[in-house]
């Protein structure tokens, strides 16, 4: 479906906020003419099975068709500095994430993950956060990442089907792993950021985030009323198994600035680990971030 000029296109990112804002009419209250468009097609895995070394950054590089979307802050940082949109710097979010193994795995503690392939999304939140979380336990050469098992839901499927020894997961799959009895070896909670298209209407952007602020308050107050929305993003084969009463609220929006200090220190961390061989983009904080 071709984007209409009057539509503000929103790409949900496996979180509750957009669904709550729709349910409560917050977008309508703000006067936002919008359309939700799944950029990752979670329910069908059509995009979640992208193959080796294709992840969140590559979807920005290719060009997302939405006015606003979300990914880990490292990727949005570099994508914005490389001219693929602008990072919205008036807030960030924090997402629970963890490395899981089967219940009967011999892996019991982080040190046991030495030289074990851990399935992550290439240049996605799971990539960076796995390194960040394991560095206190393992030498750099002992941290082995596998990029060939797809994005979030596809990696989850591989773990459930017994195809991989360890996986990094967040959002609904994080809670589903807990429900199914998989063992979390280490917490890898990380920051996310929002990407705004270069041609997005500024007033619409502010209306969108005003609605999400209200949705966050609802989620904080009564999360159990909204966790059922996680089910809608899962592949069909799992929906009858999911008990979202056991799920937590997932990603939380933090209405604090993504500062120039955060912007620069994150880039230094990425550069020190050589995650982007092609460079981190030439735009400055002032050019890449909406403040």
Distance between CA 244 and CA 137 in Å, rounded? 33
Helix %, strand %, coil % of the chain (to 5): 40, 20, 40
The per-residue pLDDT for 141 is 98
Q: Tens digit of pLDDT for each residue in 154-212? A: 999 999 999 999 999 999 999 999 999 999 999 999 999 999 999 999 999 999 999 99
- Output the pTM of the full model: 0.91
Query: What CA–CA distance (Å, rounded) separates 127 from 212?
Result: 27
Q: Using CA atoms in the order 271, 272, 276, 279, what is the torsion angle rounded to 10 degrees?
A: 40
Q: DSSP alpha helices (H): ranges in 2-123? A: 17-24, 26-29, 56-62, 73-81
Q: What pLDDT sits at residue 38?
A: 75
Q: Report CA torsion sign: 229, 94, 283, 122.
A: negative
Q: Which domains does the chain have, with CATH numbers?
A: 8-95+191-290 (3.40.190.10), 97-189 (3.40.190.10)
Strands, DSSP E only, in the chain? 8-10, 34-36, 68-72, 86-95, 97-101, 117-119, 144-146, 166-170, 183-187, 190-196, 252-254, 289-290
Low-confidence ranges of the chain (pLDDT < 70): 1-6, 39-57, 59-65
């Amino acid at each position: 479906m071709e984007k209409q000029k009057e539509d503000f296109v929103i790409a949900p990112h496996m979180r509750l906020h957009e669904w709550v804002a729709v349910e409560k009419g917050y977008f309508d209250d703000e006067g936002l003419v919008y359309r939700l468009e799944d950029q990752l097609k979670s329910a069908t895995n059509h995009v979640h099975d992208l193959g080796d070394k294709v992840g969140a950054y590559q979807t920005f590089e290719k060009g997302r068709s939405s006015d606003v979307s979300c990914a880990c802050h490292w990727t949005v940082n570099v994508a914005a500095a490389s001219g693929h949109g602008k990072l919205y710097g008036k807030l960030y979010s924090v997402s629970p994430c963890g490395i899981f193994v089967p219940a009967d795995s011999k892996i019991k503690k982080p040190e046991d993950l030495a030289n074990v392939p851990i399935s992550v999304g290439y240049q996605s939140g799971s990539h960076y956060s796995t390194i960040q979380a394991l560095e206190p336990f393992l030498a750099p050469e002992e941290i082995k990442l596998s990029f060939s098992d797809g994005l979030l839901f596809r990696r989850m499927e591989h773990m459930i089907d017994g195809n991989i020894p360890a996986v990094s997961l967040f959002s609904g799959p994080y809670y589903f792993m807990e429900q199914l009895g998989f063992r979390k070896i280490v917490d890898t909670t990380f920051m996310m950021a929002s990407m705004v298209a270069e041609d997005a209407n500024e007033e619409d952007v502010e209306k969108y985030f005003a609605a999400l602020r209200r949705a966050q308050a609802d989620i904080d107050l009564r999360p159990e009323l909204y966790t059922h929305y996680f089910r809608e993003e899962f592949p069909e084969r799992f929906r009858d198994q999911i008990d979202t009463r056991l799920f937590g609220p997932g990603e939380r929006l933090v209405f604090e600035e993504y500062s120039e200090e955060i912007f620069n220190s994150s880039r230094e961390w990425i550069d020190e680990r050589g995650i982007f061989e092609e460079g981190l983009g030439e735009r400055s904080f002032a050019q890449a971030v909406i403040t």
